[in-house]
Amino acid sequence: MSPTYRTLRQRCQREWVAFGVLPGDLEKLIVAFVDHHNHQCYHEVLKNLTPAKNPEVSHMTRNCLRRLLLGAVGAAVVSGVAIADDVDALVGAMLGNTPIIDDLKSLTDSIGGRVTGSPSNSAAVTWALARFKQADVVATAEEFEMPSQWQELEASANVSGDISFAARVVAKPFSTGTDGSLSAPLVDGARGTADDFDRLAEMAHEAWVLVETAVLDDNIGLAGLFAEYGSAAATAQLAIDAGVAGIVFMSSRPKNLLYRLPMLSSKDKLPILVMERENAERALRLLRAGNSLTLQATIEIDGGYAYQSSNVIGEIRGSSRPDEIVLLGAHLDSYDLGTGALDNGANVTMLIDIARQIRRLGLQPERTIRFALWNGEEQGFFGSWQYTERHEDELDNHVMAASFDIGTGRITGFFTGGRPGLPAIVDQQLAPVAGLGPFQQVDIPLVGTDNFDFMIEGVPNLIAAQADANYASNYHAASDTFDKVDQRQLKLNSAIAAALVWGFANTADRLPRQTHDDIDALINATDLEQQMRTFGVWEDWASGIRGRQSSSEALEGDPEAGVPSASENQTDISLPPAVAVSSSAVVATSVITDDAPVADENYGLKEPLPPPEENTLQVTVTSVSKNLSNRFLFATESGQVWLQTDQRRARFEDTPFKAEIRPGSMGSYFLKPDSSTVSVRVRREK
């Protein structure tokens, strides 16, 4: 087929699909028409596709077909006609008959939920590599270390007391286990505000606090989801301060729907459940009627240990500026209750399909395009973080990094991150798909998905802003399955995303990478700090282990970055900041004695673990106690206190004992008792 012919055909497809003609039907009609060059067919098509009640469709279709006919005639007569406009070709191809929907069925129905670290997640990595390969796109699995496994093995709950009933529950991600079952009074925590905890006072102590939530449905959508995240994080902090046994959040979704809302800011601090709404409401009514209730809950978690995961990175090399990179990203992992269709299988298949169509059409971008399928997103954007570490030398040349992570609602524009100049460049790239708009860029920074590390590395970054549709009501829930996907809108979104990436890969315009000070200024001018705290990533930035540093000195201890320098330490020796400050629970760096060697400055972040004999510390543990979540606190002779972060059951109740502590990855420490081979993860507490 000649380029002119191809372009016209694709333009027709685009216009028709925009008016609701299904790609499959359209394909058949066009093939019939084009292959026969036949006026009879032309009239037949017109008759079929132009309902009299819709004159606009009629007009569009008529014009489109006329152009197609002229194109066909022209192609037959003239050889070597003008080269097709690449972006139109690509957009047309995205709207045509592609395997995107079959891919999505395969990823969600056959592979299913894809928790990072699970066998199905590994299957998804293999699947993605195979899909890229079939599409003739070079792709690699880039391995990285996930610092801490978290997977629910069991969660169950029974209400007893004046009235007894069983209630379905799930553990919130990063909840601790209960070490057997945990039975405690169930108290009415109302909305879980500071006033509510004041009212409860001592009653909250060592109780299960039941917290009411607002209904989250499609009417409130994403606003409700963000509100739920924010209030849950605030409640968890109040609950920790009040010394509760655990929190039970009422499900915000009616009809017994359960979901996993991550609690990164209270990671590993206490048991947290979500209870089906109807039974939580029942318990609250009973409590408010004066009944006294006890909750016996069991949470068993497999977790605490580091493990390997992989991003899948597909690449189409640029023709004239191959060192400059435009990146489209979507996370491959999901939670386990549903099959991760809206979050985020749909956008994964969209990225694969864009790469496939670029190769199929033989298009050559000027810049290199990378298609990044991230892992570990749900645990705190680990895959994209590790990508920015691994590709640090290339970050100056990352022209743009976009994330797609809000289901299949219409793309209404992009979040441009508070980056002057970026909205105008995005506007320009979306011009070829203006008919699928309108588009409005939203120039604010957002934390919550894989743009985050690009943002704090100063790389121009985008998140697709999408209509709420049914995203929030199915978010991380058992109901996030293939049937919730808006297939037609996914096709249209794929055309929009294709135009965006093609534009960025070929435009002369580009913004420079921001400096540490620029990023700091952005944080100071916006609510970024609060957002980062909600997602549990503030300390990582503030301590300098994550994001762009002001200079190489930061790694030595930059006071502004919140890391004391070695000379400021009052005690004998400092751990390198990269090791000491990666967790919000670790508050100081001066922890070990004279004879312990200092670790490599990149240690724990980019380099494999050094041999165990390096960097060890002999301590005598003088007392061991349990905290509320039944994990051990170790006090040492020097007055330091270490918290066991491992969920595995290890007992160190005979004190004093001698132990060896050596830094593990990502700010955790292994504590190895003298007389035993058991090791658990610990980290230093205030």
Least distance CB 331 / Zn ion (angstroms) = 6
Contacting residues for 471 by C-beta, under 8 A, at least 6 apart: 221, 222, 342, 343, 406, 407, 408, 409
Q: Where are the beta strands (DSSP E) in 233-320?
A: 246-250, 272-275, 293-303, 307-316
| 405 lies in the site for Zn ion, by CB under 5 A | yes
Choose the binding region for Zn ion from 112-120, 401-409, 518-526, 649-657 (rule: CB under 5 A): 401-409
Least distance CB 522 / Zn ion (angstroms) = 23
Choose the binding region for Zn ion from 203-211, 400-408, 468-476, 576-584 (rule: CB under 5 A): 400-408
The residue (of 49 and 330) whose beta carbon lies closer to Zn ion is: 330
Distance CA 451, CA 387 (A): 11
The residue (of 309 and 629) whose beta carbon lies closer to Zn ion is: 309
With 0-12 CB in 10 A as exposed, 13-18 as middle and 19+ as buried, what is 537? buried
The residue (of 405 and 540) whose beta carbon lies closer to Zn ion is: 405
Distance CA 167, CA 275 (A): 7
| 188 lies in the site for Zn ion, by CB under 5 A | no
The residue (of 300 and 343) whose beta carbon lies closer to Zn ion is: 343
Choose the binding region for Zn ion from 51-59, 267-275, 397-405, 456-464 (rule: CB under 5 A): 397-405
Choose the binding region for Zn ion from 346-354, 391-399, 404-412, 487-495 (rule: CB under 5 A): 404-412
Least distance CB 407 / Zn ion (angstroms) = 9
Instruction: Judge contact between 418 and 346, C-beta under 8 A.
Output: no
Least distance CB 451 / Zn ion (angstroms) = 12
The residue (of 334 and 615) whose beta carbon lies closer to Zn ion is: 334
DSSP string, 353-382: HHHHHHHHHT---SEEEEEEEESS-TTTSH
Q: What is the footprint of Zn ion within residues 113-142 (CB under 5 A)?
A: none
Instruction: Judge contact between 216 and 224, C-beta under 8 A.
Output: yes
Least distance CB 229 / Zn ion (angstroms) = 13
String marking each residue 333-362 x if it binds Zn ion according to CB under 5 A: ----------xx------------------
Phi-psi region of 145 (alpha: psi -120 to 50; beta: other; left: phi over 0): beta
Distance CA 668, CA 148 (A): 9
Distance CA 525, CA 205 (A): 39
Distance CA 560, CA 558 (A): 5
The residue (of 344 and 615) whose beta carbon lies closer to Zn ion is: 344
The residue (of 347 and 679) whose beta carbon lies closer to Zn ion is: 347
Choose the binding region for Zn ion from 385-393, 398-406, 463-471, 661-669 (rule: CB under 5 A): 398-406
Least distance CB 469 / Zn ion (angstroms) = 14
Least distance CB 377 / Zn ion (angstroms) = 6
Distance CA 177, CA 175 (A): 7
Least distance CB 450 / Zn ion (angstroms) = 8
Least distance CB 349 / Zn ion (angstroms) = 14
Least distance CB 357 / Zn ion (angstroms) = 24
The residue (of 343 and 486) whose beta carbon lies closer to Zn ion is: 343
The residue (of 377 and 539) whose beta carbon lies closer to Zn ion is: 377
The residue (of 151 and 294) whose beta carbon lies closer to Zn ion is: 151
Instruction: Judge contact between 13 and 436, C-beta under 8 A.
Output: no
Measured between its terminal Cα atoms, the distance across the chain in Å is 70
DSSP string, 560-583: GGT---GGG-SSSB---HHHHTSS
Least distance CB 132 / Zn ion (angstroms) = 21
With 0-12 CB in 10 A as exposed, 13-18 as middle and 19+ as buried, what is 459? buried
Rg of the Cα atoms in the chain: 28
Sheet architecture: strand order including 293-303: 165-167, 150-161, 293-303, 181-188, 208-211, 246-250, 272-275, 169-171
Least distance CB 206 / Zn ion (angstroms) = 35
φ and ψ of 597, to 5 deg? -70, 150
Burial 258-282 (b: 16+ CB within 10 A, else e): bbbbbbbbbbbbbbbbbbbbebbbb
Least distance CB 347 / Zn ion (angstroms) = 8
Q: What is the footprint of Zn ion within residues 96-115 (CB under 5 A)?
A: none
With CB under 5 A as the rule, give the number of residues binding Zn ion.
3
Is the Cα torsion angle 118, 122, 123, 127 positive or negative in sign?
Answer: positive
The DSSP code for 442 is B
The residue (of 474 and 630) whose beta carbon lies closer to Zn ion is: 474
Distance CA 599, CA 401 (A): 33
The H-or-E segment that residue 141 falls in is: strand 138-146
The residue (of 15 and 333) whose beta carbon lies closer to Zn ion is: 333
Which residue from 536, 452, 585 is spatially nearest to 264, judged by alpha carbons?
536
The residue (of 196 and 405) whose beta carbon lies closer to Zn ion is: 405
Least distance CB 27 / Zn ion (angstroms) = 32
Burial 607-624 (b: 16+ CB within 10 A, else e): eebeeeeebbbebebeeb
Q: What is the footprint of Zn ion within residues 272-291 (CB under 5 A)?
A: none
The residue (of 167 and 258) whose beta carbon lies closer to Zn ion is: 258
| 480 lies in the site for Zn ion, by CB under 5 A | no
The residue (of 343 and 539) whose beta carbon lies closer to Zn ion is: 343
Least distance CB 502 / Zn ion (angstroms) = 24
Residue type, 474: N
Q: What is the contact surface with Zn ion in residues (CB under 5 A)?
A: 343-344, 405
